[in-house]
Structure 1
């Protein structure tokens, strides 16, 4: 039913029209059976021109209504499937990053691949099911008109038959839910397989343990669940099909001894039941697929993803300045549970200020909260208490998307796209080529007129340089680098700290650098030390020659026309 509601939300009018065509199909089918029964009962004496024309008209009507219903629902199903995939992608992007990290990449991939496919197959079942429903309803109506006594017997038999079919079907739906949960674990194992290829190849015992304790058992459990679903479905479908012949036997051999039934009624009911065998068989075959689609749709809803983000037209008017004079974190905290720990880890309360033309280093041991702080600074995590302020004005929840546009970042787990997405390639082509040369990538990578990169198959350090190039082209007021130099050779570390960071500072950018390279701490204007989620030191690194505090950095407006001097 959830799938039908999904179609109704997409286009209520098209669904209603398709159902009407399905009912017309059923009525025409019942009319055809009535004509056949009348001719058979008369011994062929009613096969005159009017009967033939009526039979042909009903046949054309049934064919036309069936095609119209199928086309309407199929087009609606196709549109709904692609709309669901698009909406799901938008909802994932609109969901807070912390929620997505809790769900895990494997669950999101399973949803985008398996759940969407199951919903698609379930939607494909709806057109024939609705048409079959119209045919069954039309035939049952004609049978009720023909003989109420026999129809009452048919109704009792049908209720018992449907009950005997639905009881194991409920078990099938339960197995489908269990299979879907197992599928999440299977995708997790597949992700471990692809991401851990080097480690598995280098350690025979780990490889054997992974296969025998993780991947193979999960795959075997998934296989057993699917076999059980298939077995139950085979038994229930075969039982459902045998009920037709049980009823025909009851109709021909038992019912005439209980109540008087005319030969024409017996022939008509036999014809109708045999005719209904095909749509009912199709319905019983499609119901498990419909159940799988319903389970998949429920699983998508259970992810609790956010609604799609507002478009440019629906965003509130921009209240945040594009070149802020300062960004403040005021009493910001964030708590989360780390793997293997019973108590949550709390970062904060954090009091921190970012200013243009200032290089801020964030240092601390592993697990001190540096990357979490970076995600709070950039608005990827929402603070649980405290607030972000831009030029003294608090950032409201509706403005968080605008706030994130102030930052260009290269995180330690960054992703490198194959194209300069979101950047006008013609306007940045020359700058991109200059940056490639400055980053010593001009012999490795080329950028064509459309902004496509010739390759991203580079070393870890070179990939980070390419990510840095993208960040340069974005030209945002704040830059954040999370352990950017960790994969660079000594020569390029020197370039990064002694040349690239000062260039960004000279361009009036606020720069935040998470680093362990203590030999370059003198590059920072301020050094913030984190320990166990708290700032334990916020030190000014530079003073004028007379010992006084350095003068405030030039305003961003004064440097807005300079660009990056690379």
Structure 2
């Protein structure tokens, strides 16, 4: 089982110690049953010895059970803590393109549902180990009491386990289908929240969305889970039915075929009755463990891992940003991907382009020409299928890619604005932050206290200005702006192109600007046009404006 393997990797010694405590608890419980059986069937042992033994076994069973559960609880929470951190690191270390292809809805389902499901499954492990230990201890007692009855019990239990496994296998397949359907449901939920304005304004679209998409997917998910859980309920009831069949065979059938002593009959009956609770517990936990197993498989299918913390730590090692560079080059770089609403593959490149300190490079082109993808290749967020990205003549490799990324500060069109400046605004920079806020005309709307922004509930243009503030504070050698001015008013467009960009140039920063604002092309040192994934010569009027 994947959950148990995860615990073993987290702390093998603690797992073994916990298992030993569980076995002692199970053995103590079995010894208690034997002691009760001896008292009921008659024995020459003095009552004082029986009472002291009974009390000792009770205390041993209690102490070892608590010890086993405490150890497993600590390991379970520790493993869950490590799993969350490793999953977060895995997300950050995985290729960006992989997540863009999977879609945000699948990532949300994994982070919000799969982690909780795995956590719930791991929380059951302490109880499972203890109850399994009780089962093993009782079986050992039964074998010692009568090996013939024990062999018959093992045969019958094997048949019961096989039939139970067959039923639960059908249910587990349904859970896997339900988990896939849940991805689609999360996609609809995302459409519901992001498209709420369009759905409110168009009743027909709203009804089709709710009736055909959301309702249909939610209904399919309901049916899959209901069918699977019904099968689990039937299999659990079947297990309890077999349990009473065993008691019936012991009491009524076995004495006919083989004479049994009162001690054997009473001992087996007491033990089987005592096993009812742990067996029922184990069977009732099966659906929760199955869901946890499906969730872990889903995490792995998404290209994530919970096991390679060392590799992730190396990939995400804290790398200081290089203070300077001489030349950045893309040499015969290509990148292939699916474009939205297009089944064919789109190839960007081969691209040959360079950037130097103190240079303003404008990248222009139509929608869908590949400008943002080229910027992601520039910044190391995408890995080229062929060609090389070179920094000062040296190729950027998988080992150096994260260090290379530290050269860049970016504001993409789909930027994210954090609620704090994340270490970019220590007290000694407070005056600089206040100056930037005033210059961006945000000093009356936003305050920065201990690095936290007082609000991010602003217009898109104002949020972009805050993103620009964070970018300034990073103070990197290279800046990339993807349609930054598209949501600014004319005054701020002029300030951005004719004041801020020239300031960056004078400070020795290399700047790549993706823009459609042809009236400001003259600010650029160099203008390059991207058309259908290929770099082409700028048109004559563009060259004239840029010059």
TM over 0.5: yes
Superposition pairs of residues 522-537 of structure 1, within 5 angstroms: 522-537=522-537
Check 1:313–1:367 CA distance in 2 against 1; reply closer, same or farther (3 A cut): closer
SS in 2 for 1:342: coil
Q: CA deviation at 1:343?
A: 2.7
Q: Distance in 2 between matches of 1:117 and 1:312?
A: 27
Q: Distance in 2 between matches of 1:317 and 1:192?
A: 37
Q: What residue is the counterpart of 1:498 in the other structure? A: 498
Q: CA deviation at 1:424?
A: 4.2
| More displaced 10-residue stretch of structure 1: 237-246 or 69-78 | 237-246
Structure 1 contact 524–541 (Cα < 8 Å) conserved:
no
Q: CA deviation at 1:540?
A: 11
Q: Distance in 2 between matches of 1:391 and 1:166?
A: 62
Q: What residue is the counterpart of 1:282 in the other structure? A: 281
Q: What residue is the counterpart of 1:96 in the other structure? A: 95
Q: Distance in 2 between matches of 1:369 and 1:441?
A: 33
Structure 1 contact 411–483 (Cα < 8 Å) conserved:
yes
Q: CA deviation at 1:41?
A: 0.2
Q: CA deviation at 1:186?
A: 1.2
SS in 1 for 2:335: strand
Superposition pairs of residues 6-155 of structure 1, within 5 angstroms: 6-42=6-42, 46=45, 48-155=47-154
Q: CA deviation at 1:321?
A: 4.9
Superposition pairs of residues 160-171 of structure 1, within 5 angstroms: 160-171=159-170
Q: Deviations over 1:510-550 (max 9, x none)?
A: 1111111111111111110010000002699999xxxxx99
Q: Distance in 2 between matches of 1:57 and 1:153?
A: 32
Please list every run of 5 or more consecutive structure 1 residues that lacks an aligned counterpart in the other structure: 544-548, 551-566
Q: CA deviation at 1:396?
A: 2.0
Structure 2 contact 73–123 (Cα < 8 Å) conserved:
yes
**1:453 correspondence with 2:453:** yes
Structure 2 contact 316–402 (Cα < 8 Å) conserved:
no
Q: TM-score, normalised by structure 1?
A: 0.92
Structure 1 contact 144–151 (Cα < 8 Å) conserved:
yes
Q: Distance in 1 between matches of 2:453 and 2:410?
A: 19
Q: CA deviation at 1:341?
A: 2.8
Q: CA deviation at 1:315?
A: 5.3
Q: Deviations over 1:348-385 (max 9, x none)?
A: 11111111111111000111100000100111001111
Q: Distance in 1 between matches of 2:85 and 2:170?
A: 32
Q: What residue is the counterpart of 1:479 in the other structure? A: 479
Check 1:461–1:124 CA distance in 2 against 1; reply closer, same or farther (3 A cut): same
SS in 2 for 1:397: coil
Q: CA deviation at 1:404?
A: 0.6
| More displaced 10-residue stretch of structure 1: 407-416 or 150-159 | 150-159
Q: Distance in 1 between matches of 2:72 and 2:272?
A: 27
Q: Deviations over 1:286-332 (max 9, x none)?
A: 111111111111111111137556548995998x9521122111111
Check 1:488–1:229 CA distance in 2 against 1; reply closer, same or farther (3 A cut): same
Q: Distance in 1 between matches of 2:108 and 2:409?
A: 27
**1:353 correspondence with 2:358:** no
Count of residues in Structure 1 that have an aligned counterpart in Structure 2: 542
Check 1:107–1:284 CA distance in 2 against 1; reply closer, same or farther (3 A cut): same
Q: What residue is the counterpart of 1:555 in the other structure? A: none
Q: Distance in 1 between matches of 2:430 and 2:198?
A: 39
Structure 2 contact 347–533 (Cα < 8 Å) conserved:
yes
SS in 2 for 1:348: strand
Q: Distance in 1 between matches of 2:127 and 2:322?
A: 56
Q: What residue is the counterpart of 2:372 in the other structure? A: 371
Q: Distance in 1 between matches of 2:196 and 2:395?
A: 46
Q: Distance in 2 between matches of 1:299 and 1:199?
A: 32
Q: CA deviation at 1:142?
A: 0.9
Q: What residue is the counterpart of 1:254 in the other structure? A: 253
Q: CA deviation at 1:22?
A: 0.8
SS in 1 for 2:333: strand
Q: Distance in 1 between matches of 2:284 and 2:322?
A: 60
Q: Distance in 2 between matches of 1:430 and 1:460?
A: 25
Q: What residue is the counterpart of 1:232 in the other structure? A: 231
Q: Deviations over 1:116-154 (max 9, x none)?
A: 111111111211111111111111111111112222221
Q: Distance in 1 between matches of 2:180 and 2:313?
A: 34
**1:463 correspondence with 2:463:** yes
SS in 1 for 2:537: strand
| More displaced 10-residue stretch of structure 1: 309-318 or 526-535 | 309-318
Q: CA deviation at 1:45?
A: 6.4
Runs of 4+ in structure 1 off by over 2 angstroms are: 44-47, 305-318, 339-343, 538-543
Q: What residue is the counterpart of 2:395 in the other structure? A: 394
Please list every run of 5 or more consecutive structure 2 residues that lacks an aligned counterpart in the other structure: none
Superposition pairs of residues 186-225 of structure 1, within 5 angstroms: 186-225=185-224
Check 1:499–1:317 CA distance in 2 against 1; reply closer, same or farther (3 A cut): closer
